[in-house]
Each structure stands twice: as C-alpha cells, then as structure tokens.
Amino acid sequence: PAVLTLPPEITSEIFLQCVPIKRERNTKEAPLLFTQICRDWRHIAVSTSALWTTFDVAESTTGLVHFPEIVETWLARARGRPLTVKIRGAFAQCQRIFQTLYQHASTMQVLELRMNPEAFEAMETHPWDCPILRGLYVSFIPVEYRPVRPLNILRDAPLLQEVVVACALHSSFALPWRRLTRFTGAFRSCADYLGALRLMPNLTYCAAALAFPGSESPLLLPRLQHLVLFNTRSLGANPLEFLTLPALQNLEI
C-alpha cells in the first residue's frame, strides 16, 4: 500500500493527528491501535514518544494482573517527555506501580489518582520530587476513607498550581499550599474551610463543598477571582460573611 511508502516522520505526524482528545488506554484507538497493524507501523508508533505522553486508565484496566507491566511499558515509551498520568480505579501490586511512577515523577505535569486506601498508603513511602507538576487530582475509594495522618506525597513541586481533592479533605494531604492558584475540595465545617483558605493566599479560583457554618473572623483573599460554593442551602448562614474578596469577578452558588 502507498501509505507504507511514506517517510517515517510523516507517518509519525499522521499518527499524532489521529490521537483522540480524550485519551484512554484502548486497544481499538490510537496509539495502541497503530502497534497492531504491521511491524513497520508498530516500530514507528513505539518510536514516537509524543504518542505516549498521556496515560489514562480506568478501573477495567487497573484490575488486570499485568497492570504494572502496562504502566512500565507505556511510560518508558514517552522517553522523558512531560507526562499526564491518570489512574482511576483500585489496584493491587501498589509498591511496584508506585515505584514506576516514582521513577517518572520528574516528568509529570498532571497526576490524577482515584485509588483504594492501600494504594495511598503505599504511595506515602515514596515522597516524590515533581519539578514540573502543575495539576494534582486525588480521591479515595471508598469515599468515606480518611487517612490517619496527612499523606506527604509531594516533597517538592515548585510549579504546582491546581489541586482537586474530590471526596476527600484537604487536611488529608501535606502539600505546598501557598503556591496554589486553583483549588477544589470538600470541607466538614466552616472552620475547616477557612483554615484551608488561609493556607492558600494566592488562590484565583476556588470551588468548595461546605458542610455547616461556624463563627469565624473574616478572611482576606486578595487574588481570588472565581468562587464556586456547593451545598450552601443547608448551611443556614451566608458563607460569604467570612470572606473579603476584593478581586472577585465570578461567583457560583
């Protein structure tokens, strides 16, 4: 076929244009599909590191016995390019998987983890240096799980700007809070809510689910421009009473 006569660099560029916007590990989609057509295409696909910079798997994959090998092979093919890693599902063999992620921590730009308690506890044994990490998204399975102490999962993340702790409390994590400009999380009380915001004076965006109000002195957030509040109907008080927001431009309740 004529397509096989194209220079490898042209074929590689075509492959990149075929990658879906929402990348998930799917053998029927790029990039894995290209590795199954013929030997030449497989070689080009495996050699094109930009094809492997997003590793996105759901629970149907994390339960596989050979999941650690999948992680190792995929990330190795990225060859040091900035990575987006999304693991959304409980999995076993935690130590081996986190050892692999730990080895690639220096190239991670985005890290999304939705995992079981055993995985989080295993993760804590390897505080990561993430010099280019910009976004961290974490949640627990089950959602009721709470670690007995804050998880110190990031040793150094100088570029971290956005943190989402869905179905989890900010107090479950030891993070470089002062650097953040975007935060989404849940809070058990107004005191917990304001205590978290005091740790993040540079926020420009905040989305929060509140449990109940309390009597607190107002808090100044001079840079906050966008505020989203959930579960406010049951509060019985105005959560804005506790905030001074001179730069606020958008409010969603």
DSSP 45-84: HHH-GGGGSEEEEEHHHHTSTTHHHHHHHHHHHTTT--EE
Structural domain boundaries of the chain?
Answer: 1-51, 53-180, 201-253
pTM (2 decimals)? 0.82
- Please state, for a pLDDT cut of 70, what percent of the chain lies above it: 80
8 Å CB contact between 19 and 51: yes
* pLDDT, the chain, mean: 82
Q: How confident is the model at residue 48 (pLDDT cuts 50, 70, 90)?
A: very high
d(CA 126, CA 130): 12
Location of structure tokens 């956005």: 162
What pLDDT score was predicted for residue 186? 74
pLDDT in tens, 135-192: 998 887 766 666 666 777 776 789 999 998 876 666 777 788 888 999 988 776 677 7
Closest CA to 68 of 52, 55, 51, 81: 55
pLDDT at 93: 74
Q: pLDDT, tens digit, for every residue of 179-237?
A: 899 998 877 667 777 788 888 999 999 998 766 555 556 788 999 999 998 766 555 56
In residues, how long is the chain? 253
